[in-house]
Structures are given as structure tokens and as C-alpha cells.
Amino acid sequence: MRALLTAVASLATLSCLALGQNNSADSRPKAPVTTQAAANKGNDRKWWKEAVVYQIYPRSFKDSNGDGIGDLKGIISKLDYLKSLGIDVIWLNPIYGSPNDDNGYDISDYQAIMKEFGTMQDFDELLKEMHARNLKLVMDLVVNHSSDEHKWFKESRISRSNPYRDYYHWWPAEKGKPAHRWSFFDVNADAWKYDKATDSYYLHYFSQKQPDLNWENPKVREEVFSMMRFWFDKGVDGFRMDVIPFISKDISFPELPAEYHGDYIKYYAHGPHTHEYLQAMNKDVMSKYDVMTVAEGIGVSSDESLDYVDADRHELNMLYHFEGVSLGYLPNSRKVPDPKGYSLVEFKKIYSKWDSVFAQKGWGTVYLGNHDQPRMTTRWGNDSPQWRELSSKMLTTFLLTMRATPYYYAGDELGMINIKFDRIEDYRDIESLNWYQLEKNSGGDLKKFLEAQKISARDNGRTPFQWDKTTNAGFTTGTPWLKVNSNYPTVNVAVEDKDPNSCLNYFRKIVKLRKDNQVLVYGKYTLLDADNPDVYAYTRELDGKKWLVLLNFHDKAASANTGLDLSHAKVLLGNYATPSRDGKLKPYEAVILEL
Ligand code: NOJ
């Protein structure tokens, strides 16, 4: 049980300005193409290092046909809005053929569009219209597993001699029960499912409808590579790779080795051939295109991350870690928030450590929200009416001023917050539904479970995007697949677009600041005042330019002791009408100063 909960805990690990008077950012000519700092890093300029990535959960973004589910035509209708944000890249969660056991992460056809989302023609139009606006498109690559409704699996389960048998991991029942493997989404947390037709068990790290593909089979690798080429040939600009560290397995399926101390996620991420397969993928596919790749770095520690993203190894470009988003949950729990909250000192340590990993090689990412996480303002800021906007802008400031490519989640630019369902019936996510069942089966405290889910459940980050104050926030004319947050009459694009001090307009300003100033992209990061429990302070430096970022993470005034002379500091951006110039910060204040 303890091992199981450890694994669950790591899964957790699986999501305005008041313009300072001088918001002029920097109008001087931009730094030369290869800056000194970048050159020193042996880490040349790349478009994906300078990009701001914006993630869209297509199911919840915009519904064009009234079926309550977002779709591609909906996204197309909002491209001008997306362009107005100043972002460069859009990452779409899976849009492929799927029975939607896990909202598209269970793929039944890798080269088709999910019928709820539209057609291949809609996709081609989306890509064309995005490229016409100079926006790049990154797709989700989900190849650790497929759907059980994929034709490969349908064939595979027919007989032991079927040509597709070895596309998946099977264990013949006459050998007895295979060694335990933990599953994320199984009601019994068991990753082996018995299948009567061939008297065998198949492996599914996720739900029973997500059987794991057998990457040790060269045919599977070639199928995946050719599918990737299909999308790249269409002009797609990259892939975000779902649980990619899990693809290689020891197919003798031994007992969990003792050195993993029951941590299945860590074990899953240490398969024997992962890097060999990623190098082959790079050589056969990515190296032929100008595209970006980012791994969902589940189970990968900071000292292992360069194995994935050191350019000399020819694997992937970036990886996103789970250390930051795991902070503040009770150990060995199903994402139960620590009543004491999270420690900012720890938070700073984690993000500073991950910055240092990529100081010489590779390149980092930074995010606080995504479709697997609750809303960042609820989780890391303060979603009360008094502090929602300020804390949300403060967190946005953090994301856009780190030395790493920011992955920003749709709706966070509006300051959207958790919906906090009271009843299990309101949830749609397989994770919440199955964990509830698990909790129930083991006689757990269901009330406590639901309370914790109000903070940590994934559906909090998946509620429909809030466009305006009309019914269902303008997301759909039908019944939305997941309820809309009741704050939509005031938190929405239409209202915020008109308000110069809104979260939305703050986001636009800070994106522009980053895009116009390479110091925010490539500049050296230095943490200051590390032990300050309330303020996150750091400098960014490049080619003689030195910027200071001060962020008060709490609801009380706090001072930063940076030891720097701020007397000539110039305010570049801040989230209060009168930004602090002396390091004394108001609650949730964020300010960027040029020194
Ligand atoms: C990680 C994805 O981000 C998550 O949404 C999904 O449930 C699992 N992988 C399984 O594909």
C-alpha cells in the first residue's frame, strides 16, 4: 500500500499593470545573433528557446457546433485572439481518433482526427491559418500506449500467433500471475489485466483501455516513426511526448528491484533502451525537420535530465519536470494538500536547481499549470476575490522571466481558478473517478478525498475557457461536457480585453517584454535572498544588462534583501499601479527592475 501511494504521490507530479510609468521595455536594438552568454553556454540560439508556448486543451477551448465539446473549428475561430497574446507556439492536447477513456490519451487512430473535434480538412485549415499568422503547432505524441480500440490491439488480443501479438506486452497465464506492476488509473491499481480470449494478461500502466505498446519490437518503433513523419510532412512544428521515459521495459518483467524502494514511477522511467530508442527517433525522424520536441519528464531527476536534452546526444530538445508541481502535497497521499501550504524556500530551491542543470548544456522549461494540474492561481497563488488577480499576475511574472521556455496554460492569462466540485458526480476525469473508487474500496475517508480534490484534481484545470458573459461563458451553445466556472461573468476575455489592468493585458505585456529582450531568454539567472520565506528574488544578466525580478508570494507586505543598490532602478513592469522601487513589496507584488 505504501508503495502504491508513493507512486500516486509522484503522479501528482504528473500540473497588471498598472504599467509602471516606464513600461517602455527596451527599444534599443536587439542583441547580436549570438550573444556572449549564449555562446559561452555552447548553447546557440534556437527558435524554441525564444518561444512562448501556449497550451490548449481542445475539448475545453471553443465549441463551434453546439455539442458541448470544443473542436478544431472553434480553435480556428479564435486564432486572432491567440495571435493577440504574442505567443509563438501552440501545443494541442491529443486530437486523434479516440474513444476518450482518458480524453484523447487513449488513441485508436494516430492518423485521424477525433470525430468530436472535426475532420482532417479542419486540421489542414487550422495548420494553414496558424502558419499564416506565424504561429507554430506542436502536437501531443502518445506512444507509450494506445487505446484498446486501436486496430493493432484488436488484432493482438485475437490469438497468440496474431502478427500484431508482439505489438503489446502479454504474459501467458500458465506462467502464473506476473510480478506486480502499479497502474495509474486502474480501480485496483493493478497494471496487468487478464484477457480471456488468449488466457493471458496484458500490461497497462494507465487505464485498462490504454495497453502499453511493446517498443522492444522494431515494427512498433517503425510504425511510430512513420506516423511522426506523416505529421511532420504535413508541416507540424513539433511534439510534446507523453510519458516518453516509460517506453522501454525489461520484458522479463522481474519483481520490482529493491533499489527502487517501491517507487514504480522511477522504475518505469529507467527502462533498458529508452535512450537508444530516442536516438533512433531523432536520427530517423526529427533530424530531417526543423521541429521542437519536449518530453513529459515523468520519473526523471535533475541529474538525469541532460541524458534527454543535451544537444550532443541527439535525442530531444526539452523536458518538463515534476519536482516543482509535486511540492505542497502530503507524502504518500493522493495529492492531498499539506495544510501548512508549501514552502517558498523549497520552491525557489527546486527552480534554481533546475536552472543550474541547463546552465552549460541543454535547455529548460517552466510551467505551473497544464491539463494534469489544477489552476495555478488556486494552487500557487491565492484565488480569493481580493488576491486572485494580483497573485495570478505575480505567477505569470515568474513564468515569463525564468531562463527556460515558458509553457503557459490557456485560461491562466485570464486568472481562471479551480471550480472545486462538491460532488464526485461532477467530475469527468478518469483519475478522480477511479481514485474515488479506490478510496471507497479501501474504506478511506471520501469526504476528505473530495476536499483534497478541490485543490488538486485535474478537472479544475479543464473547465471550459471563459470567452464572455453569455451562457456557458460563450464556450458552447449546448451543454458543456464539464461545468463552467461560475465566475465567468467577470473573468472572461471580453471583459478583460477592455481593461488595461486585467490579467489578460498583463500577460500580453510581459510576453512582449520577453520577446523584445533577450536578457529574459538567455540571461544568466542568479537567486538572491534564498532564505526569504516570502519573496522570490533573482537577477537576469546578459551583455551588460542586469534585470531584477521581485515576487512576493504571500498576502502580507514583505521585503527583499538583495544587497543590490536599487536607487537608480527603473521599473519595467509591475502588477500594482505604483510599483515598488525599493524592494519593499506589497502583498503578491511582482516587479521587474532594470538596474
Ligand atoms: C500524461 C498526460 O499528460 C495525462 O493527461 C494522461 O492521462 C497520461 N499521460 C496518460 O497518457
C-alpha cell at 208: 485498462
Question: What are 476-501's pLDDT values in tens digits?
Answer: 999 999 999 999 999 999 999 999 99
User: What is the C-alpha separation between 105 and 12, in angstroms, rounded?
Assistant: 17
Is 140 touching ligand 1 by the criterion CB < 6 Å? no
- Quick one: which atom of ligand 1 is closest to the CA of 370? 3
Ligand 1 centroid to residue 105 C-alpha, Å:
6
Ligand 1 centroid to residue 405 C-alpha, Å:
21
Question: Does the pLDDT value for residue 391 go beyond 70?
Answer: yes
Is 206 touching ligand 1 by the criterion CB < 6 Å? yes
The residue-averaged pLDDT of 290-319 equals: 98
Question: What are 231-277's pLDDT values in tens digits?
Answer: 999 999 999 999 999 999 999 999 999 999 999 999 999 999 999 99
Question: Does the pLDDT value for residue 65 go beyond 80?
Answer: yes
Question: Does the pLDDT value for residue 10 go beyond 50?
Answer: no
The residue length of the chain stands at 595
Question: Does the pLDDT value for residue 14 go beyond 70?
Answer: no
Ligand 1 centroid to residue 358 C-alpha, Å:
26
Among 105, 204, 434, say which to mutate for ligand 1: greatest number of ligand atoms within 8 Å of CB.
Answer: 105
Question: Does the pLDDT value for residue 41 go beyond 80?
Answer: no
- Quick one: which atom of ligand 1 is closest to the CA of 372? 5
Is 14 touching ligand 1 by the criterion CB < 6 Å? yes
**Residue identifier of the C-alpha nearest atom 10 of ligand 1:** 105
DSSP designation for 257: P
pLDDT of 522: 97
**Confidence class for position 572, pLDDT limits 50, 70, 90:** very high
Question: What are 527-545's pLDDT values in tens digits?
Answer: 999 999 999 999 999 999 9
- Quick one: which atom of ligand 1 is closest to the CA of 430? 7
Q: Which of 122, 140, 296, 529 is catalytic?
A: 296
Ligand 1 centroid to residue 68 C-alpha, Å:
22
Is 295 touching ligand 1 by the criterion CB < 6 Å? no
Question: Does the pLDDT value for residue 515 go beyond 90?
Answer: yes
Q: Are 172 and 199 spatial neighbours (Cβ–Cβ below 8 Å)? A: yes
C-alpha cell at 369: 499549470
pLDDT of 12: 43
Q: Are 581 and 587 spatial neighbours (Cβ–Cβ below 8 Å)? A: no
Ligand 1 centroid to residue 242 C-alpha, Å:
6
Is 244 touching ligand 1 by the criterion CB < 6 Å? no
Question: Does the pLDDT value for residue 516 go beyond 80?
Answer: yes
**Residue identifier of the C-alpha nearest atom 6 of ligand 1:** 105
Q: Which of 242, 323, 439, 496 is catalytic?
A: 242
**Residue identifier of the C-alpha nearest atom 8 of ligand 1:** 105
242 is catalytic: yes
**Confidence class for position 589, pLDDT limits 50, 70, 90:** very high
Is 105 touching ligand 1 by the criterion CB < 6 Å? yes
DSSP H helices in 411-465:
430-441, 446-456
pLDDT of 332: 85
Q: Are 127 and 120 spatial neighbours (Cβ–Cβ below 8 Å)? A: no
Question: Does the pLDDT value for residue 67 go beyond 70?
Answer: yes
Question: What are 448-474's pLDDT values in tens digits?
Answer: 999 999 999 999 999 999 999 999 999
pLDDT of 119: 98
- Quick one: which atom of ligand 1 is closest to the CA of 102? 7
pTM for the whole thing?
0.94
Mean pLDDT lowest for which of 28-37, 62-71, 107-116, 586-595? 28-37
pLDDT of 530: 98
pLDDT of 134: 98
- Quick one: which atom of ligand 1 is closest to the CA of 106? 11
DSSP H helices in 315-370:
323-326, 344-357
Question: What are 337-358's pLDDT values in tens digits?
Answer: 999 999 999 999 999 999 999 9
pLDDT of 44: 87
50 is catalytic: no
- Quick one: which atom of ligand 1 is closest to the CA of 14? 1
Is 142 touching ligand 1 by the criterion CB < 6 Å? yes
Is 212 touching ligand 1 by the criterion CB < 6 Å? no
C-alpha cell at 470: 453569455
The residue-averaged pLDDT of 200-213 equals: 98
pLDDT of 43: 55
For residue 286, report the phi and psi dihedrals to the nearest 5 degrees.
Answer: -60, -40
Ligand 1 centroid to residue 374 C-alpha, Å:
14
Is 459 touching ligand 1 by the criterion CB < 6 Å? no
Average pLDDT, the chain: 93
| Distant-in-sequence contacts of 261-267, Cβ < 8 A, 24+ apart | 261/3, 261/6, 262/2, 262/3, 262/6, 262/7, 263/3, 263/6, 263/7, 263/10, 264/3, 264/6, 264/7, 264/181, 264/182, 265/7, 265/10, 265/11, 265/13, 265/298, 265/299, 266/10, 266/299, 267/299
For residue 145, report the phi and psi dihedrals to the nearest 5 degrees.
Answer: -145, 165
- Of the chain, the percentage scoring pLDDT greater than 70 comes to 93
